[in-house]
Amino acid sequence: MKNFPTKQLAIASFAMIALFAFTFSNAHAKYADGEIDGMVIETIAASLDCDTAAFNMACTIASANMSLIHFPSPINMNDEHLENCSSISVIFTDAESVLTFVFNETSESDARTNADAMILSINTAFSLTFAHNSTYTYYVPDQYVVVIYVAEEISDMQTFLTNLKTGCIDSSVDGFSDVLPTFFTHAESKTVILIAINASSTWYNMLIAEYDTTFPLGTGQHTIDILYYLGTGSLRPSDYAQLGGYYMSPVMLTINSSSIITFVSCHPDETLMPIYSAGWYVPEKGPANQITGTMYFGNTPNIGELINFTFEGTVIPEFTALTSILAIILISTILIHLRHQQKTTH
Protein backbone atom coordinates (compact mmCIF):
# COMPACT_ATOMS: atom_id res chain seq x y z
CA MET A 1 0.00 0.00 0.00
CA LYS A 2 2.82 2.41 0.77
CA ASN A 3 3.78 4.77 -2.07
CA PHE A 4 0.82 3.68 -4.18
CA PRO A 5 -0.02 6.57 -6.58
CA THR A 6 -2.78 8.81 -5.26
CA LYS A 7 -4.61 9.08 -8.57
CA GLN A 8 -4.64 5.31 -9.02
CA LEU A 9 -6.10 4.94 -5.53
CA ALA A 10 -8.83 7.39 -6.50
CA ILE A 11 -9.59 5.59 -9.77
CA ALA A 12 -9.72 2.23 -8.00
CA SER A 13 -12.12 3.73 -5.49
CA PHE A 14 -14.22 5.16 -8.34
CA ALA A 15 -14.41 1.70 -9.93
CA MET A 16 -15.64 0.27 -6.63
CA ILE A 17 -18.27 2.98 -6.39
CA ALA A 18 -19.61 2.13 -9.85
CA LEU A 19 -19.78 -1.56 -8.96
CA PHE A 20 -21.44 -0.84 -5.60
CA ALA A 21 -24.12 1.25 -7.33
CA PHE A 22 -24.61 -1.48 -9.93
CA THR A 23 -25.05 -4.09 -7.20
CA PHE A 24 -27.74 -2.16 -5.36
CA SER A 25 -29.61 -1.15 -8.51
CA ASN A 26 -29.78 -4.77 -9.63
CA ALA A 27 -30.87 -5.85 -6.17
CA HIS A 28 -33.74 -3.36 -6.41
CA ALA A 29 -34.74 -4.93 -9.71
CA LYS A 30 -35.02 -8.30 -7.98
CA TYR A 31 -36.57 -7.35 -4.65
CA ALA A 32 -38.90 -4.66 -3.33
CA ASP A 33 -37.13 -1.45 -2.35
CA GLY A 34 -38.22 -1.86 1.25
CA GLU A 35 -36.53 -5.26 1.51
CA ILE A 36 -33.15 -4.11 0.21
CA ASP A 37 -33.10 -0.56 1.59
CA GLY A 38 -33.71 -1.78 5.12
CA MET A 39 -30.98 -4.44 4.92
CA VAL A 40 -27.35 -4.53 5.89
CA ILE A 41 -25.11 -6.31 3.39
CA GLU A 42 -22.19 -7.84 5.27
CA THR A 43 -19.41 -10.11 4.03
CA ILE A 44 -16.16 -11.58 5.26
CA ALA A 45 -13.75 -12.59 2.50
CA ALA A 46 -10.36 -14.25 2.83
CA SER A 47 -7.83 -15.07 0.12
CA LEU A 48 -4.63 -17.11 0.33
CA ASP A 49 -1.93 -17.21 -2.34
CA CYS A 50 0.11 -20.32 -1.61
CA ASP A 51 2.89 -19.22 -3.97
CA THR A 52 3.65 -16.08 -1.94
CA ALA A 53 2.21 -17.00 1.49
CA ALA A 54 0.14 -13.81 1.22
CA PHE A 55 -3.11 -13.92 3.18
CA ASN A 56 -5.74 -11.19 2.70
CA MET A 57 -8.81 -10.60 4.85
CA ALA A 58 -11.62 -8.14 4.10
CA CYS A 59 -14.80 -7.19 5.96
CA THR A 60 -17.53 -5.21 4.19
CA ILE A 61 -20.57 -3.59 5.83
CA ALA A 62 -23.03 -1.74 3.55
CA SER A 63 -26.58 -0.42 3.59
CA ALA A 64 -28.96 1.90 1.79
CA ASN A 65 -30.43 2.84 5.18
CA MET A 66 -28.58 5.93 6.42
CA SER A 67 -29.83 5.40 9.96
CA LEU A 68 -27.78 2.19 10.01
CA ILE A 69 -24.60 3.16 8.11
CA HIS A 70 -23.53 6.71 7.33
CA PHE A 71 -20.63 9.15 7.15
CA PRO A 72 -19.65 10.46 10.60
CA SER A 73 -20.83 13.72 12.13
CA PRO A 74 -20.56 16.64 11.42
CA ILE A 75 -20.61 15.77 7.69
CA ASN A 76 -24.01 16.78 6.29
CA MET A 77 -24.88 14.60 3.31
CA ASN A 78 -27.87 16.85 2.57
CA ASP A 79 -25.66 19.90 2.12
CA GLU A 80 -26.57 21.86 -1.03
CA HIS A 81 -22.97 21.60 -2.22
CA LEU A 82 -23.53 17.87 -2.72
CA GLU A 83 -26.56 18.32 -4.97
CA ASN A 84 -24.66 17.13 -8.06
CA CYS A 85 -22.30 14.83 -6.19
CA SER A 86 -22.51 11.21 -7.30
CA SER A 87 -20.19 9.79 -4.67
CA ILE A 88 -17.70 10.47 -1.92
CA SER A 89 -15.01 8.00 -0.94
CA VAL A 90 -12.14 8.08 1.53
CA ILE A 91 -9.26 5.60 1.60
CA PHE A 92 -7.26 5.55 4.85
CA THR A 93 -3.85 3.86 5.18
CA ASP A 94 -0.74 4.22 7.32
CA ALA A 95 0.93 5.99 4.37
CA GLU A 96 -1.68 8.61 3.42
CA SER A 97 -5.41 9.30 3.22
CA VAL A 98 -7.16 10.00 -0.09
CA LEU A 99 -10.55 11.71 -0.39
CA THR A 100 -12.39 11.59 -3.73
CA PHE A 101 -15.51 13.49 -4.83
CA VAL A 102 -17.28 12.57 -8.06
CA PHE A 103 -19.66 15.14 -9.59
CA ASN A 104 -21.87 14.99 -12.65
CA GLU A 105 -23.61 17.73 -14.64
CA THR A 106 -21.11 20.33 -13.48
CA SER A 107 -17.90 22.01 -14.57
CA GLU A 108 -14.49 21.36 -13.07
CA SER A 109 -14.46 24.80 -11.42
CA ASP A 110 -17.90 24.31 -9.85
CA ALA A 111 -17.01 20.80 -8.73
CA ARG A 112 -13.87 22.12 -7.03
CA THR A 113 -15.85 24.92 -5.34
CA ASN A 114 -18.50 22.54 -4.03
CA ALA A 115 -15.94 20.01 -2.81
CA ASP A 116 -13.92 22.74 -1.07
CA ALA A 117 -17.05 23.76 0.81
CA MET A 118 -17.22 20.30 2.44
CA ILE A 119 -13.58 20.04 3.50
CA LEU A 120 -13.90 21.73 6.90
CA SER A 121 -16.57 19.31 8.14
CA ILE A 122 -14.68 16.33 6.66
CA ASN A 123 -11.44 17.38 8.34
CA THR A 124 -13.32 17.70 11.63
CA ALA A 125 -15.04 14.32 11.25
CA PHE A 126 -11.81 12.41 10.63
CA SER A 127 -9.37 14.65 12.58
CA LEU A 128 -7.28 15.05 9.42
CA THR A 129 -6.20 17.92 7.17
CA PHE A 130 -7.18 17.28 3.56
CA ALA A 131 -5.57 19.46 0.88
CA HIS A 132 -6.51 19.60 -2.81
CA ASN A 133 -4.45 17.32 -5.01
CA SER A 134 -6.07 17.36 -8.47
CA THR A 135 -9.26 17.86 -10.46
CA TYR A 136 -9.95 16.12 -13.74
CA THR A 137 -12.74 14.92 -16.01
CA TYR A 138 -13.34 11.18 -16.32
CA TYR A 139 -15.54 9.23 -18.76
CA VAL A 140 -17.13 5.93 -17.58
CA PRO A 141 -18.78 6.25 -20.17
CA ASP A 142 -20.64 9.41 -19.07
CA GLN A 143 -18.76 12.54 -18.12
CA TYR A 144 -17.83 12.97 -14.46
CA VAL A 145 -15.62 15.46 -12.65
CA VAL A 146 -13.32 13.92 -10.04
CA VAL A 147 -11.85 16.07 -7.27
CA ILE A 148 -9.09 14.51 -5.16
CA TYR A 149 -7.69 15.59 -1.79
CA VAL A 150 -4.92 14.01 0.26
CA ALA A 151 -4.17 14.08 3.98
CA GLU A 152 -1.72 12.60 6.42
CA GLU A 153 -1.51 8.91 7.29
CA ILE A 154 -3.38 7.18 10.11
CA SER A 155 -0.79 6.16 12.70
CA ASP A 156 -3.04 3.81 14.71
CA MET A 157 -5.30 2.09 12.21
CA GLN A 158 -7.02 -0.22 14.73
CA THR A 159 -8.09 2.63 17.00
CA PHE A 160 -9.16 4.63 13.97
CA LEU A 161 -11.28 1.74 12.65
CA THR A 162 -12.87 1.21 16.07
CA ASN A 163 -13.79 4.89 16.28
CA LEU A 164 -15.08 4.84 12.71
CA LYS A 165 -17.35 1.91 13.58
CA THR A 166 -18.82 3.93 16.45
CA GLY A 167 -19.26 7.03 14.31
CA CYS A 168 -20.58 5.36 11.15
CA ILE A 169 -22.48 2.19 12.16
CA ASP A 170 -25.52 2.20 14.43
CA SER A 171 -25.06 0.05 17.53
CA SER A 172 -28.17 -1.99 16.65
CA VAL A 173 -26.49 -3.38 13.52
CA ASP A 174 -24.20 -5.80 15.41
CA GLY A 175 -23.28 -8.78 13.22
CA PHE A 176 -20.03 -8.71 11.26
CA SER A 177 -19.40 -5.10 12.30
CA ASP A 178 -18.67 -6.42 15.80
CA VAL A 179 -15.33 -7.80 14.59
CA LEU A 180 -14.04 -4.38 13.50
CA PRO A 181 -12.50 -3.44 16.91
CA THR A 182 -10.21 -6.51 16.65
CA PHE A 183 -9.96 -6.78 12.88
CA PHE A 184 -6.33 -5.65 12.52
CA THR A 185 -4.98 -7.89 15.32
CA HIS A 186 -2.79 -9.92 12.93
CA ALA A 187 -2.38 -7.34 10.16
CA GLU A 188 0.87 -6.35 8.46
CA SER A 189 -0.67 -3.75 6.14
CA LYS A 190 -4.04 -2.13 6.76
CA THR A 191 -6.65 -0.24 4.69
CA VAL A 192 -10.01 1.29 5.58
CA ILE A 193 -12.40 2.58 2.90
CA LEU A 194 -15.59 4.57 3.45
CA ILE A 195 -17.91 5.13 0.46
CA ALA A 196 -21.17 7.01 -0.03
CA ILE A 197 -23.12 6.88 -3.30
CA ASN A 198 -25.94 9.27 -4.16
CA ALA A 199 -28.71 7.45 -6.06
CA SER A 200 -32.02 9.31 -6.52
CA SER A 201 -31.38 11.44 -3.42
CA THR A 202 -30.65 8.34 -1.32
CA TRP A 203 -27.14 7.86 0.01
CA TYR A 204 -25.86 4.28 -0.03
CA ASN A 205 -22.99 3.78 2.42
CA MET A 206 -20.26 1.16 2.67
CA LEU A 207 -17.44 0.62 5.17
CA ILE A 208 -14.61 -1.74 4.16
CA ALA A 209 -11.66 -2.89 6.24
CA GLU A 210 -8.97 -5.08 4.71
CA TYR A 211 -5.48 -6.24 5.56
CA ASP A 212 -2.62 -8.42 4.38
CA THR A 213 -0.43 -10.72 6.45
CA THR A 214 1.88 -13.73 6.03
CA PHE A 215 0.43 -17.24 6.22
CA PRO A 216 2.44 -20.03 7.97
CA LEU A 217 4.72 -21.93 5.61
CA GLY A 218 5.11 -25.62 4.92
CA THR A 219 3.93 -28.68 3.03
CA GLY A 220 1.02 -30.87 4.11
CA GLN A 221 -2.25 -29.90 5.77
CA HIS A 222 -3.00 -26.26 6.58
CA THR A 223 -5.96 -25.01 8.59
CA ILE A 224 -7.29 -21.49 8.05
CA ASP A 225 -8.93 -20.38 11.30
CA ILE A 226 -11.25 -17.56 10.24
CA LEU A 227 -11.97 -16.38 13.79
CA TYR A 228 -8.23 -16.18 14.54
CA TYR A 229 -7.71 -13.86 11.59
CA LEU A 230 -10.69 -11.77 12.70
CA GLY A 231 -9.19 -11.48 16.16
CA THR A 232 -12.37 -12.73 17.81
CA GLY A 233 -13.84 -15.82 19.46
CA SER A 234 -17.15 -15.90 17.59
CA LEU A 235 -18.99 -14.50 14.59
CA ARG A 236 -22.71 -13.81 14.30
CA PRO A 237 -24.68 -12.25 11.42
CA SER A 238 -26.68 -9.07 11.83
CA ASP A 239 -30.45 -9.34 12.16
CA TYR A 240 -30.58 -6.65 9.46
CA ALA A 241 -28.94 -9.11 7.03
CA GLN A 242 -31.95 -11.41 6.85
CA LEU A 243 -33.86 -11.87 3.61
CA GLY A 244 -36.73 -14.30 3.54
CA GLY A 245 -35.71 -15.63 6.96
CA TYR A 246 -32.16 -16.52 5.84
CA TYR A 247 -28.98 -14.61 6.64
CA MET A 248 -27.25 -13.08 3.60
CA SER A 249 -23.94 -12.98 5.49
CA PRO A 250 -21.41 -15.11 3.61
CA VAL A 251 -17.88 -15.91 4.78
CA MET A 252 -15.94 -16.51 1.57
CA LEU A 253 -12.53 -18.11 1.12
CA THR A 254 -10.36 -18.50 -1.98
CA ILE A 255 -7.10 -20.49 -2.03
CA ASN A 256 -4.82 -20.25 -5.08
CA SER A 257 -1.64 -22.16 -5.91
CA SER A 258 0.49 -22.95 -8.93
CA SER A 259 0.78 -26.51 -7.56
CA ILE A 260 -1.99 -28.92 -6.64
CA ILE A 261 -4.09 -28.30 -3.52
CA THR A 262 -6.88 -30.47 -2.10
CA PHE A 263 -9.76 -29.83 0.28
CA VAL A 264 -9.56 -31.86 3.51
CA SER A 265 -12.24 -30.74 5.99
CA CYS A 266 -14.15 -27.78 7.38
CA HIS A 267 -16.16 -26.62 10.35
CA PRO A 268 -19.09 -26.11 10.40
CA ASP A 269 -19.68 -29.15 8.20
CA GLU A 270 -20.45 -28.91 4.50
CA THR A 271 -23.90 -28.08 3.16
CA LEU A 272 -25.40 -28.94 -0.20
CA MET A 273 -28.04 -26.20 0.16
CA PRO A 274 -26.10 -22.90 0.26
CA ILE A 275 -27.91 -19.96 1.87
CA TYR A 276 -30.84 -22.16 3.00
CA SER A 277 -28.82 -24.27 5.43
CA ALA A 278 -25.82 -23.54 7.62
CA GLY A 279 -22.34 -24.74 6.73
CA TRP A 280 -19.57 -24.51 4.14
CA TYR A 281 -20.41 -24.90 0.48
CA VAL A 282 -17.37 -26.28 -1.36
CA PRO A 283 -18.29 -26.78 -5.04
CA GLU A 284 -14.94 -28.23 -6.15
CA LYS A 285 -12.66 -30.02 -3.68
CA GLY A 286 -9.67 -30.61 -5.94
CA PRO A 287 -7.04 -31.69 -6.56
CA ALA A 288 -6.81 -28.36 -8.39
CA ASN A 289 -4.96 -25.05 -8.48
CA GLN A 290 -7.85 -23.19 -6.84
CA ILE A 291 -10.35 -24.12 -4.15
CA THR A 292 -13.20 -21.89 -3.00
CA GLY A 293 -15.53 -22.26 -0.06
CA THR A 294 -18.38 -20.13 1.26
CA MET A 295 -19.81 -20.50 4.73
CA TYR A 296 -23.48 -19.62 5.23
CA PHE A 297 -25.46 -19.19 8.43
CA GLY A 298 -28.73 -20.33 6.86
CA ASN A 299 -31.40 -19.47 9.42
CA THR A 300 -29.15 -20.45 12.33
CA PRO A 301 -27.14 -17.46 13.59
CA ASN A 302 -25.53 -19.23 16.57
CA ILE A 303 -23.02 -21.44 14.75
CA GLY A 304 -20.06 -19.07 14.66
CA GLU A 305 -17.98 -20.40 17.56
CA LEU A 306 -15.62 -22.34 15.27
CA ILE A 307 -15.07 -21.49 11.61
CA ASN A 308 -12.16 -23.14 9.85
CA PHE A 309 -11.12 -24.70 6.56
CA THR A 310 -8.38 -27.29 6.08
CA PHE A 311 -6.60 -28.03 2.80
CA GLU A 312 -3.50 -29.95 1.74
CA GLY A 313 -0.73 -28.38 -0.33
CA THR A 314 2.45 -26.33 -0.19
CA VAL A 315 2.80 -22.75 1.05
CA ILE A 316 6.19 -21.42 -0.01
CA PRO A 317 8.31 -18.88 1.90
CA GLU A 318 8.43 -15.99 -0.57
CA PHE A 319 6.16 -13.14 0.49
CA THR A 320 4.99 -10.19 -1.56
CA ALA A 321 2.29 -8.00 0.00
CA LEU A 322 -0.86 -7.56 -2.06
CA THR A 323 -1.35 -4.05 -3.34
CA SER A 324 -4.46 -2.02 -2.64
CA ILE A 325 -5.72 -2.53 -6.20
CA LEU A 326 -5.74 -6.31 -5.66
CA ALA A 327 -7.79 -5.74 -2.53
CA ILE A 328 -10.22 -3.67 -4.58
CA ILE A 329 -10.56 -6.51 -7.09
CA LEU A 330 -11.17 -8.97 -4.25
CA ILE A 331 -13.92 -6.83 -2.73
CA SER A 332 -15.47 -6.26 -6.15
CA THR A 333 -15.61 -10.04 -6.56
CA ILE A 334 -17.37 -10.25 -3.20
CA LEU A 335 -20.10 -7.89 -4.36
CA ILE A 336 -20.64 -9.72 -7.64
CA HIS A 337 -20.79 -13.02 -5.77
CA LEU A 338 -23.29 -11.60 -3.26
CA ARG A 339 -25.56 -10.36 -6.04
CA HIS A 340 -25.46 -13.80 -7.67
CA GLN A 341 -26.29 -15.52 -4.38
CA GLN A 342 -29.22 -13.14 -3.77
CA LYS A 343 -30.70 -14.09 -7.13
CA THR A 344 -30.51 -17.77 -6.30
CA THR A 345 -32.82 -17.29 -3.32
CA HIS A 346 -35.79 -16.66 -5.65
| Residue-level pLDDT at 202 | 82
| Residue-level pLDDT at 30 | 44
Exposed/middle/buried for residue 281 (C-beta within 10 Å: 0-12, 13-18, 19+): buried
- Does residue 26 have a pLDDT over 90? no
| Residue-level pLDDT at 32 | 47
- What does the pLDDT average to over 219-223? 97
- Does residue 273 have a pLDDT over 60? yes
Q: Give the pLDDT band of residue 321 (cuts 50, 70, 90).
A: very low
- What does the pLDDT average to over 226-236? 97
| Residue-level pLDDT at 19 | 46
- What does the pLDDT average to over 145-153? 95
3-state secondary structure the chain: CCCCCHHHHHHHHHHHHHHHHHHHHHHHHHCCHHHHHCCEEEEEEEEEECCCCEEEEEEEEEECCCCCECCCCCCCCCCHHHCCEEEEEEEEECCCEEEEEEECCCCHHHHHHHHHHHHHHHHHHHCCCCEEEEEEEEECCCEEEEEEEEECCCCCHHHHHHHHHHHHECCCCCHHHHHHHHCCCCCCEEEEEEEEEEECCEEEEEEEEEEEEECCCEEEEEEEEHHHHHCCCCCCCCHHHEECCEECCCEEEEEEEEEEEEEEEEECCECCCCCCCCEEECCCCCCEEEEEEEEECCCCCCCCCCCEEEEEEEECCCCCCCCHHHHHHHHHHHHHHHHHHHHCCC
Range of weakest confidence among 259-263, 278-282, 340-344: 340-344
Q: Which position has the higher pLDDT, 327 or 52?
A: 52
- Does residue 4 have a pLDDT over 50? no
| Residue-level pLDDT at 320 | 44
- The amino acid at 54: A
- Summary mean pLDDT of the chain: 86
- What does the pLDDT average to over 30-49? 77
| Residue-level pLDDT at 315 | 96
Q: How far apart are the first and last CA of the chain?
A: 40
- Per residue in 155-203, pLDDT (tens digit) is 999 999 999 999 999 999 999 999 999 999 999 999 999 999 987 778 9
Q: Give the pLDDT band of residue 292 (cuts 50, 70, 90).
A: very high
| Residue-level pLDDT at 3 | 44
| Residue-level pLDDT at 36 | 59
The answer to whether 164 and 191 have CB atoms below 8 angstroms apart is no
- CA–CA distance, 58 with 114 (Å, rounded to integer): 32
- Does residue 12 have a pLDDT over 90? no
- What does the pLDDT average to over 312-340? 60
Pairing verdict, β 288-296 and 251-267: antiparallel
Q: Give the pLDDT band of residue 327 (cuts 50, 70, 90).
A: low
| Residue-level pLDDT at 322 | 44
| Residue-level pLDDT at 139 | 80
| Residue-level pLDDT at 138 | 82
Q: Give the pLDDT band of residue 140 (cuts 50, 70, 90).
A: confident
Give CA separation, 277 vs 50, 94, 154, 238, 296, in Å: 30, 40, 41, 17, 7
